[in-house]
Amino acid sequence: MSGRVLIAGIGNIFLGDDAFGVEVVRPLLDQPIPDRVDVVDYGIRGVHLAYDLLEGRYGALVLVDALPMDEPPGTLSVLEVDLDDPQWTTRDEDHSGPDGHGLDPGAVLRLVAQLGVRISRVVVVGCQPGALAEDMALTEPVQAAVEPARALALRIAREEADRLIGEERVRTRA
């Protein structure tokens, strides 16, 4: 398992608030970020996210995405995904495999877990969308959540990079 952390922005820029994850990570691409942290705007390219995770470079993943939670629009939430939970490793017998044209974040995580790639921590920084209609702008409450979500994703990534470095040091001493 690598000591790198990936911040992945997810979303469709043509569907209003679905672009939340993309809007959070885009400015990070042009500014200094913590050591051992990578930032990628995956948009709707789940297959690219899957390939990057399957390479085994990342010990932690911070997904940033619109997340329906039955909360007021703009509400932020941090969820931890347990890839050891059987829901991620159980194969769906009614489905022949992942659809490369429709790998949403859940399908990517399921594929990665089923193929045995170890990611020690997966965290989702989610935002309750207000509108998912054809529009290239975020609603006001979701736009207001972008900067706090950006700071939150960076804080989590920094903490995870430090944790992974600490674990790496312990392993090399043993």
Kindly indicate the confidence band of residue 20, based on its pLDDT and cuts at 50, 70 and 90. Answer: very high
How far apart CA 152 and CA 155 sit, in angstroms, is 5
C-beta separation of 145 from 71 below 8 A: no
pLDDT for 65? 95
How do residues 116-158 score in pLDDT, each as one tens digit?
888 989 999 999 999 888 989 999 999 999 999 999 999 999 9
Q: Where are the domains of the chain?
A: 4-173
Class for domain 4-173, per CATH?
alpha beta
Q: How many CB atoms lie within 10 A of CB 146?
A: 22
For residue 99, give both structure tokens.
């659809």
pLDDT for 113? 84
- Alpha-helical (H) ranges within the chain are 20-25, 46-54, 86-89, 105-114, 140-173
pLDDT for 97? 54
pTM for the full predicted model? 0.88
How do residues 86-109 score in pLDDT, each as one tens digit?
776 665 544 555 544 456 888 888
First CA to last CA across the chain, in angstroms?
Answer: 16
